[in-house]
Amino acid sequence: MDLHLLADLLGNIPKRLKQFGPRQRPDYTRRLTAICKHIRERSGQWHDTHVVTILNDLAPDSADPMTAVALKEWRKRHGLTQ
Protein backbone atom coordinates (compact mmCIF):
# COMPACT_ATOMS: atom_id res chain seq x y z
CA MET A 1 0.00 0.00 0.00
CA ASP A 2 1.36 3.42 -0.93
CA LEU A 3 0.97 5.12 2.42
CA HIS A 4 2.03 8.52 1.10
CA LEU A 5 -0.80 8.56 -1.45
CA LEU A 6 -3.31 7.30 1.10
CA ALA A 7 -2.18 9.91 3.62
CA ASP A 8 -2.50 12.60 0.95
CA LEU A 9 -6.02 11.45 0.02
CA LEU A 10 -7.14 11.29 3.65
CA GLY A 11 -5.23 14.36 4.80
CA ASN A 12 -6.94 16.58 2.24
CA ILE A 13 -10.48 15.61 3.23
CA PRO A 14 -10.81 17.87 6.32
CA LYS A 15 -9.22 20.81 4.48
CA ARG A 16 -11.52 20.30 1.49
CA LEU A 17 -14.60 19.97 3.72
CA LYS A 18 -13.94 23.41 5.19
CA GLN A 19 -14.09 24.95 1.69
CA PHE A 20 -17.75 24.06 1.24
CA GLY A 21 -20.76 25.85 2.66
CA PRO A 22 -23.90 24.23 4.04
CA ARG A 23 -25.55 23.90 0.60
CA GLN A 24 -22.44 22.65 -1.14
CA ARG A 25 -20.96 19.19 -0.52
CA PRO A 26 -17.75 17.54 -1.63
CA ASP A 27 -18.07 14.56 -3.91
CA TYR A 28 -18.05 12.09 -1.02
CA THR A 29 -18.92 9.09 -3.18
CA ARG A 30 -16.13 9.74 -5.65
CA ARG A 31 -13.54 10.26 -2.93
CA LEU A 32 -14.58 7.26 -0.84
CA THR A 33 -14.64 5.09 -3.98
CA ALA A 34 -11.10 6.18 -4.83
CA ILE A 35 -9.90 5.48 -1.29
CA CYS A 36 -11.50 2.03 -1.20
CA LYS A 37 -10.15 1.10 -4.64
CA HIS A 38 -6.66 2.28 -3.69
CA ILE A 39 -6.64 0.22 -0.50
CA ARG A 40 -7.93 -2.87 -2.35
CA GLU A 41 -5.41 -2.49 -5.20
CA ARG A 42 -2.45 -2.04 -2.87
CA SER A 43 -3.30 -4.55 -0.15
CA GLY A 44 -5.60 -7.08 -1.83
CA GLN A 45 -8.21 -6.52 0.88
CA TRP A 46 -10.87 -3.92 1.63
CA HIS A 47 -9.94 -3.21 5.29
CA ASP A 48 -13.41 -1.83 6.07
CA THR A 49 -12.74 -1.72 9.81
CA HIS A 50 -9.70 0.51 9.34
CA VAL A 51 -11.44 2.76 6.79
CA VAL A 52 -14.44 3.40 9.06
CA THR A 53 -12.11 4.16 11.96
CA ILE A 54 -10.47 6.86 9.84
CA LEU A 55 -13.81 8.18 8.51
CA ASN A 56 -15.29 8.37 12.00
CA ASP A 57 -12.17 10.14 13.28
CA LEU A 58 -12.57 12.74 10.52
CA ALA A 59 -16.13 13.46 11.68
CA PRO A 60 -15.99 12.88 15.46
CA ASP A 61 -19.18 14.84 16.15
CA SER A 62 -21.30 12.76 13.76
CA ALA A 63 -24.52 11.54 15.33
CA ASP A 64 -24.43 8.46 13.10
CA PRO A 65 -20.92 6.98 12.90
CA MET A 66 -20.26 4.51 10.10
CA THR A 67 -19.71 0.83 10.84
CA ALA A 68 -17.70 -1.75 8.90
CA VAL A 69 -20.96 -3.50 7.98
CA ALA A 70 -22.43 -0.25 6.66
CA LEU A 71 -19.29 0.42 4.60
CA LYS A 72 -19.43 -3.09 3.15
CA GLU A 73 -23.06 -2.48 2.11
CA TRP A 74 -22.09 0.92 0.67
CA ARG A 75 -19.34 -0.76 -1.37
CA LYS A 76 -21.81 -3.34 -2.69
CA ARG A 77 -24.24 -0.61 -3.76
CA HIS A 78 -21.41 1.15 -5.58
CA GLY A 79 -20.06 -1.94 -7.33
CA LEU A 80 -16.95 -2.38 -5.18
CA THR A 81 -17.19 -6.10 -4.47
CA GLN A 82 -14.21 -7.75 -6.19
- Check pLDDT > 90 for residue 61: no
The answer to whether residue 45 sits within a structural domain is yes
Residue 60 lies in a domain: yes
Residues 57-61, mean pLDDT to the nearest whole number: 84
Helices 28-43 & 3-18, crossing angle to 10 degrees? 170
More confident residue, 22 or 76: 76
Whether 36 is covered by a domain: the verdict is: yes
Query: Would 82 be classed as within a structural domain?
Result: no
**Domain range holding 12?**
3-77
Per-residue pLDDT of 2-30, as tens digits, reads: 767 777 777 776 666 666 554 445 578 88
Percent of the chain with pLDDT over 90: 48
In the chain, the number of structural domains is 1
pTM, full prediction: 0.66
Residues 36-60, mean pLDDT to the nearest whole number: 93
Assign 15 to helix, strand or coil. helix
Q: Are 1 and 42 in contact (CB under 8 A)?
A: yes
CA triple 45-50-53, angle to 5 deg: 155
